[in-house]
Amino acid sequence: MLLRGAAAGLAALVSVFAPLASANPMANKGNFTYNDKHFLLNGEPFQIIGGQMDPQRIPKEYWRQRLQMARAMGLNTIFSYIFWNNLESSPGQWNFRDRNDVAQFFRIAQEEGLHVVLRPGPDICGEREWGGFPAWLSQIAGMKVRENNGPFLNATKDYLDRLGADLRRLQVTNGGPILMAQLENEYGSFGKDKTYLQAMADMLRHNFNIFLYTNDGGGKSYLEGGQLHGVLAETDGDPRIGFAARDKYVTDPTSLGPQLDGEYYITWIDDWSSNSAHHITSGNQAAMERVVDDLDIYMFHGGTNWGFENSAIWANDRAMAVTSSYDYGAPLDESGRPTEVYHKLRDMISKHVPAGSIPDIPQAPSLAEVQEFSLEPTLTLFETRSAQPDTQSAQPVTMESLGQSYGFILYEHKVTKAAGGVLTLGDGPRDRVIVYVNGAKVGVIDRTYVSPGSVQASLEEGDLVQLLVENIGRVDYSYKLKEQQKGIVGNVTVGQGNVLEGWSTYSLPLSALPSGLSGGKKVTPKDNDPPVFYTGSFKLPSGAKSDLSGDTFLALPKGIKGQVWVNGINLGRYWTVGPQQSLYVPGCYIKAHGRSSDIVVLELEPRADTQLTGKGIATREWGNNPDPDAP
């Protein structure tokens, strides 16, 4: 996200563009504010040259390299979303370790000569699972998100207070890198509750002694809904539209100041679909010229949606499930290596800043290749469930009611009366549901399609019906809380009004790998079998270490759909439909010095005639294939 902080545009860049004074966040207290035309750092005009980088999408071991690459492109400021759901996955249980150690990310940014703009939400959208909200919010009585609602305000206050305790010492007024903080996130696209916005502003000001700004689309309703008295109003999108819109629709003088383009999309994100191609800027001359001319970057470096952390985007009456790769066609690719547009932007920035103020680009080693290796079927997913169901009920229960946020949930019903016809799932499928009868797959119902498909079932007394629901990602932007509840909501019927009552439900969050994967047991998959875990190992080529030199992209050329773990770390989802056809494997997650790394693959649709294999590729391939389960 590159932001224009002076009305005169890029030519107004000043000599403040320099490394920060000290790596010690308490050494030199400072001040960051603004007048009607300029941002002011310690009283002097300051042009923000910024890009978005979210630390929780990047391995902690690689934070410094990514920040050095930002500085070497000419950026002086990093904008970072904070993901509440990663920090507080259960109420009151906080995790600021590893990728969640955002304070350390900001300290490293300062050491590398970068300022920081904090974007804490609580809603951050950002193609993040439920916009960064923890799933457990949906289980609190009376909860209404992003409203002047007591339960939501209480939960948010706990979050912002805990975040403030970790970060307030790093604000510019304490000598740290944090210049300002964003209030909410494009709230004018959601609502116009000024009482709610004021409550959010009060919480932020209680924790941070820096000024706030709002960021909204360049339209009348967006700006009127999202602007708040006493808070600097800014816009995103095309600056030609946004800047003019702010001048026209924001009349409160307490919300006026220098123009700032809060998000200008260099391209767009990818979603899983046979009909959705990979979005890219490098190599597209017209797109690169537009970016360089505007010199606006929303996503400098996208990173990765590890594990189950991606969102879905509700658009055109379907859930567009965001891919594991959050490459975003950004100047710095998912593996932290510069693209063609990176170099073009660097060239442009270098013409407008003092000579020698941009450091040399650090040398990144080439990506590693790993020879093809075999994966052996070891255990079925259904074997890993608990001996007894987590709950038994007349109707299916939601994932959240079991205290589960991500992964899979299995519903089982023993048929008591013969019935036939189309299987209907509650108020409609919310995700991807694989239907089994007596252990054999009979169909898939998939919300990533406008028409999710239907399954015809002919059931006899004594048959076992199993519904495996995969949480493909909560919608990152939604008005209705109930849309965020996962699993099956409502009755399951067959044909005309034949309600199936009596369900056993099993929670399968896969927050950790199941036991039994290393016991030497083997299974023999058949077509239409339930999901199977495959195991194997691989070694890095000679000379590659546990760092950037060991980075690779894992391809599973015969896989259909599933999840991958390397040395116990959940890398994310794969799906033959594309456009993503390989998973980023950081070298820091791989064992070096000739040692073997363990790999586990959960294949949701195993086949009898397929030997599953994997390989590490150095040149990434994107593409689309037909969906074998397309409705």
| Nearest to 335, CA basis, from 583, 607, 616 | 583
Q: Residue 406 carries which DSSP code?
A: S
- 607, 351 in Cβ contact below 8 A? no
**C-alpha torsion angle, residues 155, 156, 158, 164 (rounded to 10):** 170
| Nearest to 110, CA basis, from 151, 57, 61, 170 | 170
Q: Would strands 376-380 and 370-374 be described as parallel, antiparallel, or unpaired? A: unpaired
Describe the crossing of helices 150-167 and 102-111 by its angle, rounded to 10 degrees: 40
147 in active site: no
Q: How far apart are CA 354 and CA 126, in angstroms?
A: 34
Q: What is the CA radius of gyration of the chain?
A: 25
For the stretch 206-218, what's the b/e string if a residue is b when 16 or more beta carbons lie within 10 angstroms of its beta carbon? Answer: ebbebbbbbbbbb
Which residue in this structure is represented by tokens 């008005």? 479
- The three-class DSSP label of residue 333 is coil
Tokens of 521: 């047991």
- Residue 421's Cβ-side half-sphere holds a number of Cα atoms within 13 Å equal to 13
Run of H or E residues at 112:
none
Run of H or E residues at 425:
strand 419-425
- 231, 213 in Cβ contact below 8 A? yes
Residues 6 or more apart whose Cβ sits within 8 Å of residue 235: 215, 216, 217, 218, 222, 223, 241, 242, 243, 245, 246, 259, 260, 261, 262
127 in active site: no
| Nearest to 603, CA basis, from 556, 570, 568, 538 | 556
Backbone phi and psi for residue 621, each to the nearest 5 degrees, phi listed first: -115, 135
Tell me which of 88, 111, 127, 186 is the catalytic residue.
186
Q: How far apart are CA 210 and CA 607, in angstroms?
A: 58
Tokens of 9: 């545009």
Q: How far apart are CA 27 and CA 428, in angstroms?
A: 58
Q: What is the largest CA-CA distance in the chain?
A: 81
Q: Would strands 77-81 and 50-53 be described as parallel, antiparallel, or unpaired? A: parallel
| Nearest to 20, CA basis, from 169, 177, 210 | 177
- The three-class DSSP label of residue 214 is strand
- 81, 125 in Cβ contact below 8 A? no
Tell me which of 112, 234, 263, 605 is the catalytic residue.
263
Q: How far apart are CA 405 and CA 389, in angstroms?
A: 17
Alpha carbon 540 to its chain centroid, in Å, reads 28
Residue 19, amino acid: P
CA end-to-end distance (rounded Å), the chain? 39
Catalytic center residues: 186, 263
